[in-house]
Amino acid sequence: MGKGDGCVNYRIMKDTKNISKAIILDKDSRVLLLLPYDKPRWHLPGGHLHEGESFVDGIKREVLEETGLSITISNNQTKTHVYTVYLQCKQCKC
């Protein structure tokens, strides 16, 4: 059974959380990735937005908090995407 055929262990996340992530390239087009001390995987800088915070302000804040870098973003560099997140129960194999 899977998410499309009635498995009760899959659910769509109903609480919407706005996050911002940055793809930061250096002059050689290498991507900046972070490896936090408390998580075993690399990720892009970014995180949850504060209430009322714009995506641009949020990513500037998150990048500064996580890397110490102060960045500027022009309007033509921002993209917005919406994703549906499915959560799976670890106890079942659906």
Q: Which residues contact 60 (CB under 8 A, 6 or more apart)?
A: 70, 71, 73
Q: Kindly list the domain boundaries of the chain, sorted by start residue.
A: 18-86
CATH, range 18-86: 3.90.79.10
The reported pLDDT for the residue numbered 3 is 47
The reported pLDDT for the residue numbered 73 is 80
The series of mean pLDDT values per 10 residues for the chain, 94 residues long, is: 48 65 88 87 89 88 93 72 59 56
Phi then psi dihedrals of residue 11, to 5 deg: -150, 150
Q: How far is CA 34 from the centre of its chain?
A: 12
Q: Which residues contact 89 (CB under 8 A, 6 or more apart)?
A: 9, 10
